[in-house]
Amino acid sequence: MALDDLWYLADEADQHAEQAYHRLRERHDAFLERTREKHVSRGRFRTLARRIRETGTPYGAHTIVYRPTGELLLVRHDGVDMWVLPGGEVDPGESFRETARRELGEEAGIEAEYEGLGVLGRVEVSAGSYDTWGVLPVYAARAAEGGAKPRVRDPDDEISDARWFDALPEDTRDRDILRAWRRTWLGER
């Protein structure tokens, strides 16, 4: 891809992100909105812009799974060496919600009742003078009774553990978002 083509790719990605954003806003209400900036290499920018052009999202769809007690389910992602929300890339033909559900099954092996969109993230991606953005849908789901013991079955071998947490570990990605979600969705202080 030539240098000028990267501008075109970013523009196409912007258009798909905008469409995905509006579809999510039309279908859901009562969710948090957050914006994150990611500065990446030119090669990584190209990869993320292609994903956004194809699906509207650079990082797929994720799920905040909770128990009525307020505990949250996190998975240990070895690639980033952090506790994260279960989730991942969108497969062809999948909706964001289908992706979130599939990834939850693979990474934590539990059933959950999806209640709606918990967080609508906006990820602004840049590399030098190139920039684009994509959505990051994070669904909220209540753990099903009796099926709440996590069991990792990740075909990508990125996830090594899945656990319930009342207090979030220090090495939890997006702690601020999870705390804000708990306050808003579960009414916690």
At residue 1, the pLDDT reads 47
State the burial class of residue 83 (Cβ atoms within 10 Å of its Cβ: 0-12, 13-18, 19+): buried
How many domains does one find in the chain?
1
Do 123 and 36 form a contact (C-beta atoms < 8 A)?
yes
For 73, the domain range is 3-186
Higher-scoring residue by pLDDT: 186, 104: 104
Q: Which helix (H) or strand (E) holds 61?
A: strand 61-66
Q: In the numeric block, which tokens belong to residue 150?
A: 């996590």
Query: What number of other Cβ atoms are within 10 A of residue 42's Cβ?
Result: 11
1-38 pLDDT, tens per residue?
Answer: 445 699 999 999 999 999 999 999 999 988 999 999 99
For position 75, which CATH number holds? 3.90.79.10
Non-local CB neighbours of 47 within 8 Å, separated by 6+ positions: none
